[in-house]
Amino acid sequence: MAEAGAPELASDFKGIATVAPPPPTVGVPERGAPDAGEWDAKSSDHGAVVTALKEKVFGGRATETETRLLISFCKEDGDEECIRLARRFLE
């Protein structure tokens, strides 16, 4: 019998005891995970992603998908020069 506060144990088919996962929490979002639609386009994460993508795209190391992602971020930011330069790498 398990001690109070100890995790419940479950056995797999090989007879090895494993810790059972906690029960799911319904209706409680993960802490720190933004809901869809809560993305702040001007957050520091956005800026870091755009900077990293610019370095890869303009350095010639980006995939087509990464280049298209940079273009979409630049459109979101209204950065016409970034869009124009990034599109050159798709040609």
Task: State residue 46's pLDDT score.
Answer: 85
Domain of residue 54 covers 41-91
Q: What is the mean pLDDT of each run of 10 residues along the chain (91 residues)?
A: 55 58 63 53 75 94 95 94 95 86
Q: Please give the pLDDT value at position 13.
A: 53
What's the pTM?
Answer: 0.54
Measured distance CA(24)–CA(11) in Å, rounded: 20
* pLDDT of amino acid 34: 53
For residue 53, being part of any structural domain is answered with yes
Q: What pLDDT is stored for residue 33 in this prediction?
A: 52
Number of domains into which the chain is organized: 1
Instruction: Please indicate, yes or no, if residue 61 is contained in any of the structural domains.
Output: yes
71 CB-near residues (< 8 Å, 6+ apart)? 82, 83, 86, 87
- Within a domain: residue 1? no
pLDDT score of 45: 84
